[in-house]
Structure 1
């Protein structure tokens, strides 16, 4: 059932006082209707929304390029990478932002948990849920990563209780669940045909009802393991939001905000890039979604693509509407200031102003977050601090903007090495999906282990899913289909370039389109061309091997053999191929020859 309780959290609610404002503020947009400027003199209330997305359990400041934000240096005019993120700093930034606000609500657009570093992932993301409560989160949409461990585990994160397998992590300490509201308006149980969590949340600000609708991307089943979404259906984002916007209006809720775990790609990676007139500088799925959402929705908070933007995109009536995203990993937060018309209960659309702010590390840490993080860091230390390998320099994975990533090459090599023995499947080639590479292998020490040391925690941060490895038999024709599906089908608009093991080489021609971008005649395995009629043993993690990320050719493979986890084979490879005196160097990135210009978005 929809969550109808009106909750007012003292941790960040200011007194609900606002004087009647004299004078005309601007044209008002009631649901679906632009009001004339002289229709009436509204009584206005100021409301602040603070928004985050895609935290992914990053309690501590993210390492390497994952822990920076691109901004323009005001002195030199050059783009610089500014260190950012860490929930101790995010909590301080949010608390400072709330000071002086008549009222403030903190929202999120999904992927708060999942693909998390060890300090959170080891404890099934209970630490992140507790941290979100500490920093004052009120409501969030689910994201695709909220389903990494299935719907039952998602409900446990909301409702509390010890993990069904691992139990509680300390004597006398039971996980209480989230004090904030998870929303899943477009996720239904196939048996009951009801949403697995409330579709919306209603609260009040200064006497005005506000409804928040939360959805994840309809394509969630394509990017989550089959077990995580078994028995669930994911509806269209626009149809779902419009359905519940109508339901909210029927209940007298005319101020509506959509929390959407789907996003876009700005033309610049600078965090405060101007999207241009009509949001012309933004592309990707969220553009069409925003253009078709009911005008009754006054603002749209988004996520998923890990990009930063604060754009104005026209609604179905052609009226500009705020669409925002705060990058990822807690490096930014979005401040959305708006006014509520007490008379009509609507968001005054022309009043909506949004901007992203960097979570800088030159502010005091929030003591309560420090205490929480220290607690879990101590619990995790015996596992986290164990050295597992050595590198001679940064080996970028998530932080690389190239199609072929050094960190991805390393992972693929580890998977081939780990699965090549006949007893483990006899793999002849391995592939790693780029979206599964969650961080970089960072040379500079973040703790006491010393520069170049890769700890278990650092390896876990790069490969946090612990997907089981699989080896399947594919025909040469199917193997070529795998390569073509990187740039066609579900991946036509946003290519997903797989990271190949060192024995595979081919050319990617960006001057062509679709599947033709793969130069078939250039594909070589061990120096020999692929024979479409021959068979090959191919290694990949269980998500990719099952056809995830838009690779159905993998799912067609036969003679499946299941091996260790992807993390286990990575740790084994690091241990076997590096030492303090002989650290690993970054792979040369010579496996994919790229013709034409371009970069990937994973």
Structure 2
């Protein structure tokens, strides 16, 4: 059965179920519905050798970046043989399509898979249309299968089901019209989303199919898709109400046994969880000095405990680049890969399939990341897709909202970011008036800042204009802002939770508004990294017993990103959206003759 046939089947089932509840969604998509699949457009001739090489092309964390990402978000680092480094401009669906199509040439058996976050936190071209453009682009890319990521749940389970099955948005309706003037219905994904560890709390059944089996000429490879167990901590609670997110290792091992019983012995896990290599270069050898020695983070423990039945792990979430071998529980080397983010890289893995054993010959597996360079011809069909959606977005996206005098960067590797300071200042100003909340300071979660602002975008005249579309790309979630009461003690605890508990291994440093300062001592560990007597507001020490009015988005106010103490707030007042406050700040503080300068850093003093 083809992927398109599966799609039609899901639509019929979905329509019959009515899609009225999460339980109905589960009932509409029975486990194992994608038990047979066919690669897209490949040679159907039969091979006669015992082994056959299967090409696995993979990527992750696209986040709707159909156009080339701007600034540092659109560059990868390459380490030269002499140890020096250089950066390469990368990414863009027009170039990704060209690279993938070129990579498939000459490969009779080729599969394209992804490890989640294909959508969500997307630039305006995709985000304005609830990511329909990205699903359409992935269909054109001939994606065979993907796992869900946490961002697939940004708009809730029902919206994820719509992206899978098709249908126009329940509020915004259909965005395009047919030649006869009638609404053009969004057709949904031609590929299956897999969510093995996302289950209905009451029935225990998976929200979407847990696995998919790709088959061609007797070669069968199973894919199990999971997202990180901690998804509820980093998405809106309302969107995942009634859902349970299970342990990644237990879930993968469970379905590896299911596939084994079905005679599928070659298995790949698509896992939206990742690690951190010791180097930021995409071509870094993370197996030096030994297998997996150059990578850390959650993926290491997961890889070491996932069943040896699984032959490779395609991962994501951390936006890092690596192609490592981490020993499985039996001590046998196993490939673990990630292709950074935003479509800047793709991974090419060769899986040698043994027809007699129906398993992958692990010693023959080879994998490497490749740059999606912009020096190749653009794929014409992707250009047409982008132009079509850009025309629909243009009236909104091209509207100027402000002016900047230089780049306002968002360097993810630094505790304090100019873009974060700008956003926190805008939020404080918007929520400071007494009738708007009376906020005294603002806190902004770093994960909610998706890009910086570029003074001179590629191909522009460099006039420093900030458009609504660019502002949307920086803050695409449109979170509503709140002003709440927190005690000084709770504020200090929130700062400690940046670097302790679930955030100890990968700190999430809150961006703070002007006037709020403290010291972060990285020579210490856990909560002790926060120097408590350094925490000050407008020069005055924070009083643990005093109550402060704090501005933050609803995601943080709900305890998102591991900040449980922020849920203990009182006297919440809901204001405008974060994006509205940002554009209002630009309107108040910038003009063509007096552009806004990047905010100075120095609010967080770091001791190393």
Both proteins in one fold, TM over 0.5: yes
1:562 aligned to which of 574, 598, 601: 574
Aligned match of 2:186 in 171, 175, 178? 175
Q: How much does 1:4 deviate?
A: 3.5
State how far apart, in whole Å, the 2-side matches of 1:223 and 1:289 are.
20
Match of 1:2 among 32, 46, 51: 32
Per-residue deviation, 1:5: 3.8
Q: Where in structure 2 are the equivalents of 1:217-256 lying within 5 Å?
A: 217-256=228-267
Which of 41, 46, 53 does residue 53 from structure 2 map onto? 46
Structure 2 equivalent of residue 335 of structure 1: 348
For 1:165, the equivalent position in structure 2 comes to 171
The offset of 1:445, in angstroms, is 3.0
Conserved? CA contact 2:423–2:444, under 8 Å: yes
SS of structure 1 residue aligned to 2:285: coil
Q: 1:10 to 1:260 in 2, by over 3 A?
A: closer
Partner of 1:210: 221
| 1:159-558 correspondence runs (5 A) | 159-171=165-177, 172-275=183-286, 276=288, 277-397=290-410, 399-446=411-458, 450-558=462-570
SS for the counterpart of 1:494 is coil
- State the distance in 2 between where 1:449 and 1:229 align: 44
Question: How far apart, in 2, do the equivalents of 1:347 and 1:420 lie?
Answer: 61
Pairwise CA distance, 1:191: 2.7
Shift of 1:396: 0.6
How many residues are paired up?
A: 571
Match of 2:4 in 1: none
- Aligned-residue offset at 1:176: 0.2
1:523-553: CA deviation from partner (whole Å, max 9, x where unpaired): 1101111111110000111101110000011
Which TM-score applies when normalising by structure 2?
0.93
Which residue matches 1:36? Answer: none
Shift in Å, 1:173? 1.4
SS in 2 for 1:195: coil
- 2:63 is the counterpart of 1:56: yes
The runs of 4+ residues in structure 1 deviating greater than 6 Å are none
Deviation at 1:174, TM superposition (A): 0.8
Q: Is the 8 A contact 2:44 2:216 kept in 1?
A: no
Contact 1:17–1:102, Cα closer than 8 Å, also in 2: no
CA drift at 1:450: 4.3
Q: How does 1:563-582 map to 2 (within 5 A)?
A: 563-582=575-594
Deviation at 1:446, TM superposition (A): 4.2
Q: Alpha-carbon deviation of 1:448? A: 5.3
Offset, 1:19: 3.5
* CA deviation map 1:212-270 (0-9, x unaligned): 00000000000001112111100000000000000100111101000000000000000
8 A Cα contact 1:472 1:561, kept in partner: yes
Q: What are the equivalent positions in structure 2 for 1:38-117 lying under 5 Å apart?
A: 43-73=50-80, 77-117=83-123
Range that drifts further, 186-195 or 561-570: 186-195
Q: Note the C-alpha offset of 1:18.
A: 2.2
2: distance between equivalents of 1:17 and 1:303? 34
Task: Provide the alpha-carbon RMSD of the alignment.
Answer: 1.1
Within 1, Cα distance between the matches of 2:587 and 2:423? 13
Would you say the 8 A contact 2:39–2:215 is kept in 1? no
SS at match of 1:279: coil
Checking the alignment, whether the CA contact within 8 Å between 2:58 and 2:347 is kept in structure 1 is yes
Aligned-partner SS, 2:517:
strand
Measured in 2, the distance between the counterparts of 1:99 and 1:447 equals: 32
The answer to whether the 8 Å contact 2:521/2:529 transfers is: yes
Q: Deviations over 1:487-519 (max 9, x none)?
A: 111111111110000110111001111111100
Q: Distance in 2 between matches of 1:182 and 1:200?
A: 9
What TM-score do you get using the length of structure 1 for normalisation?
0.93
- Structure 2 unmatched ranges of 5 or more: 1-30, 178-182
Q: Unaligned regions of 5+ residues in structure 1, if any?
A: 21-42, 597-602
